[in-house]
């Protein structure tokens, strides 16, 4: 602070730059973190990254009925949704404190929360 109550712009800029770097690092870590979801008691398991990219899908042979492919499709959709929900929760945990530090807390464009 300057005498008279002014703001130290250099310090403010340094803090903003550090928060930006911290946010970028957290986003990178999130993008690389696998998160799993499942449906049908584990008959279908989907793995997504923390950024929501589907990276793996495992279907137990017991879930495959050639006469009922609609149920299998529903299980796949449910497992992917479950994994994406888990990824969003992970994003809230990892990025939430950083967003609040930027004056966010739920309103930053481009962030999944």
Per-residue pLDDT tens for 68-84?
999 999 999 999 999 99
CA–CA dist 17, 100 (Å, integer): 15
pTM value > 0.95: no
Contact 46, 54 (CB under 8 A): yes
Q: What is the mean pLDDT of residues 51-70?
A: 93
Please give the sequence-ordered ranges of beta strands (E in DSSP) within 12-92, or none if there are none.
34-39, 44-49, 54-59
Report all structural domains of the chain as residue ranges with CATH numbers, in order of start. 32-97 (3.30.1310.10)
């Amino acid at each position: 602070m300057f005498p008279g109550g002014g703001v130290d712009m250099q310090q403010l800029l340094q803090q903003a730059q550090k928060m930006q770097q911290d946010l970028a690092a957290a986003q990178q870590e999130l993008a690389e973190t696998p998160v799993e979801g499942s449906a049908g008691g584990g008959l279908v398991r989907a793995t997504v990254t923390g950024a929501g990219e589907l990276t793996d899908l495992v279907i137990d042979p017991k879930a495959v009925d050639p006469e009922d492919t609609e149920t299998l499709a529903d299980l796949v959709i449910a497992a992917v949704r479950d994994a994406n929900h888990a990824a969003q929760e992970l994003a809230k945990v990892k990025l939430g404190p950083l967003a609040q530090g930027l004056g966010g807390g739920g309103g930053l464009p481009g962030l999944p929360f």
